[in-house]
Amino acid sequence: MNERAPNYGIDAPGVIVMLGVSVVVLMPLGWLFAARLARTRSQPWTSLGITMFVTGAICLLEVLLMFSSSLVGKFRARDKLLDGLGLRGSETVLDVGCGHGLLLIGAARRLPRGRAFGLDLWSQKDQARNSRDATLRNARIEGVADRVEVRDGDMQRMPFPDASFDAVVASLAIHNISSRHGRRKAIQEVVRVLKPGGQVALLDFRCVGQYAKDLRAAGMSGVHVSWRSIRMFPPVRTVIGVKPA
């Protein structure tokens, strides 16, 4: 592996594998059924073959879009999210479910006098080769290791005192909590560790309406959900808010 090149992982590798298997199975079989059985003029089998082929083609398109999202789109979405925070350079920022450090390291590059913290349980389901060491390696390569700190921990029970951070961010992380109660607890923890006047920006393709509702219930102001962005696939939205001073 090239130690000079950061690696921010392929998102949802399990989903990509399942889609890839579908492509390998459905497209050849669909072509076989549609092409060969059409000669027998068996309309039901021909229709089945066409349906299988088209379904496989859709799966192939989704695989390509997911790779594009992981390799290009998520970096553009990250920059837009972080630019929207208007960081001055001396803040303390937390990336919840930091993975390989996409937001964490992006924030650290904007914090020459500040500090960026990452929190994760290091699930291999959500990102390929996800680990604390991989995140710290990226921080070293990007030249921000001196202002990055990574913690092992659950976003439903964050190991940080109240009012610790000027901003809390997350990308494709909170939806991985399976229960509605658990996601609500994570949002409450996000608000708890924010300083008065602190900002939150949560990017996701699922549950953003719930995040907004829970942020308002926890006392956040200016809560807003963006339009869907096609920079990533599936298309994502961002929910933002400010903790009243």
The string of pLDDT tens digits covering residues 120-175 is 998 766 666 778 999 999 999 999 999 999 999 999 999 999 999 999 999 999 99
Is residue 191 in some structural domain?
A: yes
Same domain, 102 and 197: yes
Same domain, 54 and 81: no
* Strand 221-225 to 237-242 pairing: antiparallel
What residue ranges of the chain have pLDDT lower than 50? 1-2
- 63 and 82: one domain? no
Do 189 and 215 fall within a single domain? yes
Within-domain flag for 5 = no
Q: Kindly state the DSSP code that residue 226 receives in the 8-state scheme.
A: P
pLDDT at 40: 61
Q: How far from each other are the two terminal CA atoms of the chain, in whole angstroms?
A: 47
In a domain, 6, yes or no: no
The CATH number for 133's domain is 3.40.50.150
- Angle between helix 43-68 and 13-36 (nearest 10): 150
Residue 30: domain span:
13-69
- Say yes or no: 197 and 106 in one domain: yes
In this structure, is residue 7 part of a structural domain? Answer: no
Model confidence, pTM: 0.86
The burial class, CB within 10 Å (0-12 / 13-18 / 19+), for 180 is exposed
| Full 3-state SS string of 103-166 | HHHHHHCCCCCCEEEEEECCCCCCECCCCHHHHHHHHHHCCCHHHEEEEECCCCCCCCCCCCEE
4 falls within a domain = no
Q: What is the pLDDT of residue 1?
A: 45
Q: How many domains does the chain have?
A: 2
Same-domain status, 38 and 79: no
